[in-house]
Amino acid sequence: MLFDTPVYFVFLTIVVIGYWRLRRSGQNVLLLCASYLFYGWWDWRFLSLILISTLVDYCCAHLIDRSDNPIKRRTALIVSVGLNLGFLGFFKYCNFFIDSFASLLATLNIPVSDTALQILLPPGISFYTFQAVAYIVDVYQRRLKPADSLVDYALFISLFPHLIAGPIQRPSHLLPQVQAARVFDIDRFYGGLQLIALGLFRKVVIADNCALLADAAFNGKLGEPNLAVLAIGTYAFAWQIYGDFSGYSDIARGSAQLMGFHFMVNFRQPYLATSLQDFWRRWHISLSTWLRDYLYISLGGNRHGELKTYRNLMTTMLLGGLWHGANWTFVVWGGIHGAGLAVERFVRRMFGLEATDSANQPSSSFLSVWMSRIFIFHLVCLSWVFFRATSIDAAFHMLSGIGNLVWIPEYGTAFILLIAFSLPMFLLDLLNERRGEEYVFEGLPAMRRAAVAMSLMVATLIFAGSSANAFIYFQF
């Protein structure tokens, strides 16, 4: 795949140079061709899925927009959503349900042959499917006019910086940018370069080095589970997945910014959250807002009483967990967050507390804010054990070491390395939280930002971790 190799940056450079020599219509055609090349590089056969989905969605959206007949409009909506979710369900979850059913039969001592068809997962299908569903639903609810140009809509779906792992772009945010002329802005161009440099630093220095520690702990290389191994593995994976996915998002946003597009911010210092609700306002924002607007609210949100609100929270987070992958570990991960959100809501209502970020409350003391942050961070880390483990049994095996107090010198070395590679990202988050910018040093003059980007690149070259770790969210 192009994104995790230097080939991507050669590819991006060639596209950007040609892009700014063209007018808007030519730019869109160039980007669409480049996006399909980018996607087809991995397996050209999966291009047919995007092409079929794009053409059906485009036609259904116009049929919905032109018709006042409720039956016709709903039928077109069902066809579009059904096709997209059908593709997603078949390719992502077919093996999962077949294997789960086979395991159930095995527990009942019913013989079953191991003949399940192993279906290859198209890259990025979870991300572009959610974008397509958001588009058709917005058109159906008359919040958005359908794209007049098939090229414009196809580019909205397949624009290569966000195609493989997001951020999931809202139609009302990105589609108007695709339809409008882009003007070269040297200041935004510099900002894009800095975002790319920051993303590479997060991925290659933070995530890849923390991955070495997380893999050693979860794969048994540090010995049988005990409290130290659990702490090393869990903390390391927490910073690995954050550095990995936020790094990808920064590279995607920076790449888009080089071509005059603005992608939504996907992370806002999530490990500084003071509640689970606050965490989901900061973590994978493009997914959390999608789940809120297109699933939670559609289920009824908080409009039909407390019990149904708790049910809707659990359902949303369980499905959000399953969206991440075809494994029961992701369902448990989503269930932990759903239960936590429900408990938070119950406690807030019982004690009359406002559902706001306590860090921004004038009455919140420094100590109470940091105690809340530490508690939420560890609750999130508990859920990461299930996210990282290969099975439910493996997750509980890892957690079984919590009461086993063992210490060897190698653990001290591992903790020192963990602090060395996570502390820079933690300090960057503290600085960003204080300054309130989209990315660190956004407000500096262009030349100073260029100097910051060069410093990040030098640090990336010096402290680069393992080159074998692809972006985690490529598998989703």
For 51-104, what is each residue's pLDDT tens digit?
999 999 999 999 999 999 999 999 999 999 999 999 998 888 776 666 665 565
What's the pLDDT at 450?
77
Residues whose CB falls within 8 Å of the CB of residue 147, separated by 6 or more in sequence, listed in order: 58, 61, 153, 156, 175, 178, 179
What's the pLDDT at 2?
46
365: left (phi over 0), alpha (psi -120 to 50) or beta: beta
275 pLDDT more than 90: yes
The rounded distance, in Å, linking the Cα atoms of 158 and 147 is: 14
pLDDT > 90 in the chain, percent: 69
The rounded distance, in Å, linking the Cα atoms of 85 and 87 is: 5
∠ CA 123-129-133, rounded to 5°:
175
The rounded distance, in Å, linking the Cα atoms of 390 and 219 is: 10
The number of beta carbons lying within 10 Å of the beta carbon of residue 429 is 20
For 361-375, what is each residue's pLDDT tens digit?
555 788 999 999 999
**What is the DSSP annotation of 372-416?**
HHHHHHHHHHHHHHHHHSSSHHHHHHHHGGGG-----HHHHHHHH
Candidates 284, 324, 337, 378; catalytic one: 324
The number of beta carbons lying within 10 Å of the beta carbon of residue 207 is 30
- The label of the residue with tokens 């139609």 reads 171
Mean pLDDT of 14-39: 95
What's the pLDDT at 116?
47
CA atoms within 13 A on the CB side of 40: 13
Among the listed residues 331, 327, 334, the one whose alpha carbon sits nearest the alpha carbon of residue 391: 327
Answer yes or no: 262 catalytic: no
What's the pLDDT at 187?
85
For 142-184, what is each residue's pLDDT tens digit?
999 999 999 999 999 999 999 988 799 999 999 999 999 999 9
Mean pLDDT of 339-352: 91
User: In the structure, what pLDDT confidence band is assigned to residue 443 with cuts at 50, 70 and 90?
Assistant: confident
The helix/strand/coil state of 95 is: helix
**What is the DSSP annotation of 77-89?**
HHHHHHHHHHHHH
What's the pLDDT at 360?
57
Q: 44-48, 82-86, 123-127 — which one is most confidently predicted on average?
A: 82-86
Instruction: Report in angstroms the alpha-carbon separations of 14 from 1, 7, 164.
Output: 17, 11, 20
The number of beta carbons lying within 10 Å of the beta carbon of residue 95 is 17
Average pLDDT of the chain is 89
242 pLDDT more than 60: yes
469 pLDDT more than 70: no
What's the pLDDT at 74?
96
- The label of the residue with tokens 């979710």 reads 85
User: In the structure, what pLDDT confidence band is assigned to residue 289 with cuts at 50, 70 and 90?
Assistant: very high
159: left (phi over 0), alpha (psi -120 to 50) or beta: beta
Sign of CA dihedral 274, 127, 252, 152: negative
What's the pLDDT at 52?
96
For 126-153, what is each residue's pLDDT tens digit?
899 999 999 999 999 999 999 999 999 9
User: Regarding predicted confidence, which is higher, 132 or 447?
Assistant: 132
Of 49-53, 210-214, 429-433, 465-469, which gets the smallest average pLDDT? 465-469
